[in-house]
Amino acid sequence: MKATGIIRRIDNLGRIVIPKEIRKNLRLKNGENIEIFINENENIILRKYSQIDKLKEFAKDIVDSISSITKNNVLITNTDVFIAASNKKKDYINKEISNQIIEMINKRKEITQDENINLTEEKIEQSNYAFYPIIVSGDAVGSIIILSDDEITSDNTLLLKIISTFLAKHIEE
């Protein structure tokens, strides 16, 4: 655990202000949810809440299934990191997504491009791609991306839409 040297007072309603530097580092935006835990040493742990994180194992099975059938690489993200990736892209799991992907999630639109994509700030993939956001109760909670050396087909984009809708309904339950 990193020490920040920042001290905050609890107000009379039991609230504390999370310093701007920490919110920026954790990519916390106004209105986002956080989880609060107490560990065995009675330390309070705050963690950014992600609805899609509870589906990590399920998401892994989905990307493996899609990849085995389409022979393309598939990745699923929450709003911060990759939570699942097909075999050739497993090294992306738990890495922070790029600002490009964050912007695409926030736009909440299907995107198909025959050009490179920044998956992380350090790595540009030389690949055609299709992107579809995962929307739950009006909130963008993540995305699904398919990477292909070939042209992205309408079947690829339809598949992403189906999987995105399926994951969203599964999260809502």
Long-range contacts (CB closer than 8 Å, 24 or more residues apart) made by 56-60? 56/83, 56/84, 58/170, 59/83, 59/84, 59/167, 60/84
Predicted TM-score of the model (pTM) = 0.76
CA–CA distance, 132 with 115 (Å, rounded to integer): 16
**E-only strand ranges, 92-127:** 111-113, 117-118, 124-125
CA–CA distance, 46 with 112 (Å, rounded to integer): 36
**Cα-based angle 144, 55, 79 (whole degrees, multiple of 5):** 50
Tell me which residue has tokens 């990736």: 85
Looking at residue 146, its amino acid is I
CA–CA distance, 6 with 17 (Å, rounded to integer): 11
The helix/strand/coil state of 42 is coil
Tokens of 41: 């040493």
**Are 97 and 77 within 8 A, CB to CB?**
yes
Is the pLDDT confidence value at 64 over 80? yes
Which among 127, 146, 148, 30 has a CA at the least distance from the CA of 77?
A: 146
**Are 167 and 52 within 8 A, CB to CB?**
yes
Mean pLDDT rounded to a whole number for the chain: 87
Q: What is the mean pLDDT of residues 104-120?
A: 90
pLDDT in tens, 72-91: 999 999 998 999 999 889 99
Q: What is the mean pLDDT of residues 130-144?
A: 92
- DSSP letter (8 states) at residue 121: S
**Cα-based angle 66, 138, 55 (whole degrees, multiple of 5):** 40
Is the pLDDT confidence value at 38 over 90? no
Count of positions (residues) in the chain: 173
